[in-house]
Amino acid sequence: MVKELYIAGEWRLGRGHVIQSTFPADNSINAEISTASAEDIEEAIAKADQAWRAPEWRNRMPHERAKILYKVADIIEARVDELSQLQTRDNGKPLAETRGLVLSAAATARYVAAACETLNDELTSQRAPDFMTLSVHEPVGVVAAITPWNSPIASEVQKLAPALAGGNAVILKPAEATSLIALELAKIFEEAGLPKGLLSVLVGKGSVVGDAIVKHPLVRKISFTGGTTTGRHLAHIAADKLITTSLELGGKSPTIVLPDADIELAAKGIAYGIFSSAGQACIAGSRLFIHSSIYDQFLTRLVEITKGLRVGHPEQKDVHMGSLINQAHLQSVDRYVQLAKQEGGEVLTGGEALTTGEFAKGSFYLPTIITGLKNQAKVCQEEIFGPVLVVMKYDNEQDLIQQANDSCFGLAAGIWTESYRKAWRISRALEVGTVWINTYKKFSISAPFGGFKDSGIGREKGRLGILSYMQQKSIYMGLSDQPNAWCD
């Protein structure tokens, strides 16, 4: 049976063509899903605009909005096993990893609910005798939320929760390859009591459905997580419309090992930072810089750890890496590995797809380590979005920082050292939005997240994340009985 869309609070078939959701591990069909037509998009946005303006939502107290988000968090947690399984079927990540993403989504909804209850407007007057001023925040209106395929449930709740907490309506356009979890989230928000019209989930191609949504005159903010090329395209649309954006884009994150680093801690952390999620993460630590004094020792241990990683069916226990999202992406990753060889790189481990036995029908690629390249090589400058680590040597801190910053991206970085002074100094010098010291890929919903340079615009998460979905207004109240003086 073809899956229905959630259009302005109603479940019905989209009027676009039907697509198939497939399981990347064996290419079996998960479901057939209807997609949105131009008429569906128009209806969803028109009703969203009515819904956020309606007094029963616009005037609802923050704690009443928070109540819905608390319930969303409870439902997600109660269904963690089922949702983890669905997320794994969507994108091929191991169950242990998708379970973490599901619980992260629940924690996000709960945090935003709590933060929503603490938001206050301000009395901004400077004791003027004849007037007082106040600063208030209003919803922006209809928000277009466009999410990626690598961590859908976490990305989607990270946008939905603050946007709804701020009093907006949201049109969610999930990645075409991973639409199942978004449709399930619509059911959860519906069960939690979200009024009709405030959420629609419209499935379809980004170039068709996504473009039509963001170009609609009633859409007043674009929140996008995905590739830099698409992000730049959306930024142009937003500029033409004079609307705000939140763009969390690509990365080519440097990881740095100082001479005094704990080798075992750092090697295991670096392997996790690049090979978890099969490298399909914008924050993946894909460029590794090792000090020359420990280069050989460290690299030997890192290769040992990498060779010990278990690649397998994502529904099996104790699997470190599942499949890539599809064959087309696997081929893209492999092309970069072949390019690295052409550029003079040496593959120390990995460098090939798994194509026999249980892997024959899926999209599996071995964790790969490449040496012998300079930072100017294409595989060091372009985002591969796969389990490929390029390792380089450095001799001094000044050279290190120059190389680490020599990238159009600036999303994240990792530093491994026992010296907090060096860690602080280098972290401040790096042109990135997030720095991990002696850890990697750890997240807190309370910490703002976003990138420098081509890695994006704006910040998500944190208490102020709700305000990014609102606009500020100043109100002046006259206190004097005297009329305004004429300027003559």
Q: DSSP string of 87-123?
A: HHHHH---HHHHHHHHHHHHHHHHHHHHHHHH---EE
Cα 453 to chain center, whole Å?
A: 17
Of the candidates 465, 471, 483, the residue with the CA atom closest to the CA atom of residue 165: 465
Catalytic residue flag (residue 346): no
Quote the CA–CA distance of 16 and 39 in Å, as a whole number.
9
- Given a contact cutoff of 8 angstroms between Cβ atoms, the answer to whether 446 and 462 are in contact is yes
Facing residues of 58 across strands? Answer: none
Quote the CA–CA distance of 122 and 105 in Å, as a whole number.
31
Q: Which of 248, 315, 352, 397 is an active site residue?
A: 248
The 10 Å Cβ neighbour count of residue 140 is 20
Q: In 3-state terms, what secondary structure has residue 473?
A: strand
Quote the CA–CA distance of 459 and 214 in Å, as a whole number.
19
The residues near 459 (Cβ < 8 Å, ≥ 6 apart) are 246, 433, 448, 449, 450, 465, 468
Query: Which uninterrupted H or E stretch holds 146?
Result: strand 142-146
Active-site residue list: 248
